[in-house]
Amino acid sequence: MATISIDFNSEKKEVYLLGDIKALKANRFAWRYMKDYLHPVEETDKLVVKLEDETPFAIMAKIRSMLEKYGFCEKRTETSEQVLLDFYEEERKFKVFSDKALKIRNNECDSTEFQEFVESVATNLTTRSLYPLQLLSAYHMAFSQNACNFSVPGAGKTSIVYGAYSYLHHLSKDDPKYIDKIMIIGPLSSFAPWEMEYEECFGHSPSSKRLLGGTSKEDKQLYLYSKHPEELTLISYQSVVSLQNELSYFLRNNKVMVVLDEAHKIKNASGGVIATAVMSLAKYCNARIVLTGTPAPNGYEDLFNMFKFIWPSKNVIGFEVNQLRDITIRGDQTRVNRLINNIVPYFIRIKKSDLNIPPATIKPPIRVPMGNIQQRIYDFIEKKYIEAMLDEGVTDVSTRFKTMLIQARMIRLMQAATDPSMLRSPLQEFIEEEDSPQEAFRAIDDSDVLKSIIEYENMEIPTKYVATEKLVKEIISQGGKVVIWATFVHTIHGLRDYLKKQGIESRVLYGEVPVEKNSLSEGKDEEIITREQIVKEFQKEDCSYKVIIANPFAVAESISLHKACHNAIYIERSFNAAHFVQSKDRIHRYGLKPGTVTNYYFILSKDSVDETINTRLLEKEQRMTEIMESMPIPLFSNISEELGDDDIKALIKDYVRRSKKY
């Protein structure tokens, strides 16, 4: 039997195969495995395998498995035995570490160590006090340096991170846990909140650098290669893709805590460009933090990259991606429990019920009768669409065509329920697919109805606008501010213009409003108004406008309005429960003063799709809340956030009920 020995050079990080190499190369299956998976370099007396991203133990385990499978005898060497011993010792230490992380998570802290942490945070977080669960989360984060926080929106995840960072940043510089920089990878809308929260935590503005799309690649490179970068660096997920080498250098040459904010952006475990780029940085970080309130929006497979990012050299999750998908589909509780047990030492989650926020006041829906012209238009379209769905049997979303067709019809119904003049616009403005079925455009074939739609804005004021104006004036008269949530851009502009005619100033927040000025616009485009400027001004007591009109698709993440605004009016909503819940969290989150009253108002067009949406959202929100409060990892795969079969059935049922009533 041919004999192969395995050796290891720790300085060069190379594994050597020595002995009967000719016999190994003569075995076509063994040699094919070597070439395909280990990519050896042939030298005179040995094969050389570079470690690259893998550990020596992992490489040796593959080689040993291959040798055994194809009938070779392995000759043990001193270095290979030492690698094995080092591996088991590392595993033992990691087990001790994980057990302690779990105890901290379960609030079984060493009292002396925890008190030292608390005192450090109190000293260094000069203008912010963390509540007990935040302190525990920050301590868990600082201890492990590699952690996920899946707390609900509004739990103060940013403050938790700064609490952990403040402790690590003020350790002795020769302490292996010492951190000197923090990098945030997140959506553009998160940049200002991170900077503002820094100032609120530490009492002074951060030295920060934003690596933006408008900044030249050369300037970004100069910054990342500089010897004196800022304390806080902010970069978007998209920008990581083109700067992988520069970011790797930055991380290798600084002691950096890297935070993935809204980390569900990297959930693609199938090799998405952004996910791959971000994951490649993990091995260079001194500390890795993952933040998201929705860790598994589609299934347990969404968790894979998050835990691989915080522990790139460990298989802490214990399952492969395909296995996680299978668990999601089958709902195998035994494997779910095993999954949770595997990852529980490495994440903390604060539920909304833990926050002790003053309860919000849900006002009874304001059902507004439509104007005569609007009612006639709406009735025509609703009858046409509902009867078409019944005739065609299109009452499920089982195919792409059916899904697109029904979504298109729902959009038209929603538009007609608010402002029929929207029906003049091409449907492409409101849906993402470019290959939408042409049937969606054939909404109107009645000349009288078509004429009413074309001339509608000159004939009638939408009654929803009038009801909103009345409510806004009432809120402002009592010294309040209000955010109005609308689905369609047309409504945002139309309502803004209508309120202005009534003497009410407002600002709008939606996709086309830039998040911030980029460096190319500075100094020459001062008239550009950004989301950051709007929100920052809105927070001031003497703000000239008391109203923001926003779209939940664009503003549902990262932006907080709760310190200045305690009223929200919903003039339009879709069937998407996630966006609805996230929009509510913009004004109802941790930090509200005791006794603060948060009000939600809902304006519905009477006897319309609005009422069906209202009922369905209440049901979905209740189910989502139950899941979020009861599950350690909320899984919403069994709740339709978008338009689903139950939504369509409810719409048809409501239509039939109203038809019988009349």
Residue 99 lies in a domain: no
Six token digits for residue 279? 């994951």
Residue 103 lies in a domain: no
In the prediction, which pLDDT does 306 show? 95
User: Which stretches within 460-598 are classed as H helix?
Assistant: 463-477, 489-501, 531-538, 552-555, 577-584
Six token digits for residue 458? 């000159």
In the prediction, which pLDDT does 394 show? 53
CATH of residue 343's domain is: 3.40.50.10810
- Report d(CA 626, CA 233) in Å as an integer: 37
Whether residue 280 is found in the same domain as residue 346: yes
In the prediction, which pLDDT does 439 show? 45
In the prediction, which pLDDT does 11 show? 87
Could you say which DSSP state residue 633 is in? Answer: S
Q: Are strands 232-235 and 181-185 parallel, antiparallel or unpaired?
A: parallel
Whether residue 53 is found in the same domain as residue 130: no
- pTM here? 0.82
In the prediction, which pLDDT does 513 show? 83
Is 531:539 a contact under the CB 8 Å cutoff?
Answer: no
Domain stops at, among 304, 319, 354: 354
Instruction: List per-block mean pLDDT (blocks of 10 residues) for the chain, which spans 662 residues.
Output: 91 92 94 93 92 85 93 91 88 93 93 95 94 95 96 91 97 96 93 93 95 88 96 95 96 97 83 91 96 85 94 92 91 91 95 90 97 95 86 58 77 94 68 39 62 90 98 97 96 97 96 66 50 90 95 76 95 91 91 92 97 94 85 66 78 85 58
Residue 53 lies in a domain: yes
Whether residue 21 is found in the same domain as residue 76: yes
Could you say which DSSP state residue 27 is in? Answer: S
Domain stops at, among 458, 491, 518: 458
Residue 96 lies in a domain: no
**Over the stretch 150-171, which tens digit does the pLDDT of each residue have?**
998 889 999 999 999 999 999 9
**Strand order in 73-75's β-sheet?**
41-42, 46-50, 14-19, 3-9, 73-75
- Report d(CA 71, CA 261) in Å as an integer: 50
Counts for the chain of helices (H) and strands (E), in that order = 25, 19
Residue 588 lies in a domain: yes
CATH of residue 626's domain is: 3.40.50.300
Host H or E run for residue 387: helix 372-392
Residue 372, SS3 per DSSP = helix
Residue 95 lies in a domain: no
How many residues comprise the chain? 662
Whether residue 382 is found in the same domain as residue 321: no
Closest CA to 272 of 237, 298, 313, 234: 237
CATH of residue 69's domain is: 3.30.780
Is 83:57 a contact under the CB 8 Å cutoff?
Answer: yes
Cα Rg of the chain (Å, integer):
29
Whether residue 225 is found in the same domain as residue 326: yes
Residue 501 lies in a domain: yes
Residue 295 lies in a domain: yes
Map tokens 């879709």 to a residue. 574
* Residue 138: other Cβ atoms inside 10 A: 28
Whether residue 271 is found in the same domain as residue 392: no
Map tokens 């299978």 to a residue. 326
Give CA angle at 52 (49, 54), nearest 5°: 90
Whether residue 454 is found in the same domain as residue 466: no
Q: Are strands 347-348 and 73-75 parallel, antiparallel or unpaired?
A: unpaired
Q: Are strands 256-260 and 360-362 parallel, antiparallel or unpaired?
A: unpaired
**Over the stretch 38-80, which tens digit does the pLDDT of each residue have?**
999 999 889 999 987 788 888 999 999 999 999 999 998 999 8
Give the list of residues 6+ apart from residue 170 with CB closer than 8 angstroms, or none: 120, 123, 124
Residue 139, SS3 per DSSP = helix
Whether residue 552 is found in the same domain as residue 619: yes
Could you say which DSSP state residue 40 is in? Answer: P
Whether residue 479 is found in the same domain as residue 454: no
Whether residue 223 is found in the same domain as residue 249: yes
Could you say which DSSP state residue 96 is in? Answer: H
Structural domain count of the chain: 4
Whether residue 379 is found in the same domain as residue 248: no
In the prediction, which pLDDT does 434 show? 36
Residue type at 638?
Answer: N
Host H or E run for residue 654: helix 645-661
Residue type at 503?
Answer: G
Domain stops at, among 354, 379, 399: 354
**Over the stretch 357-393, which tens digit does the pLDDT of each residue have?**
999 999 999 999 999 999 999 999 999 888 887 776 6
Whether residue 247 is found in the same domain as residue 341: yes
Closest CA to 286 of 149, 418, 165: 165
Return phi, psi of residue 349, to 5°.
Answer: -140, 120
Q: What is the domain extent for residue 139?
A: 109-354
Q: Are strands 287-291 and 146-149 parallel, antiparallel or unpaired?
A: parallel
Host H or E run for residue 611: helix 609-630
Six token digits for residue 154? 């509004």
- Report d(CA 477, CA 4) in Å as an integer: 86
Is 639:625 a contact under the CB 8 Å cutoff?
Answer: no
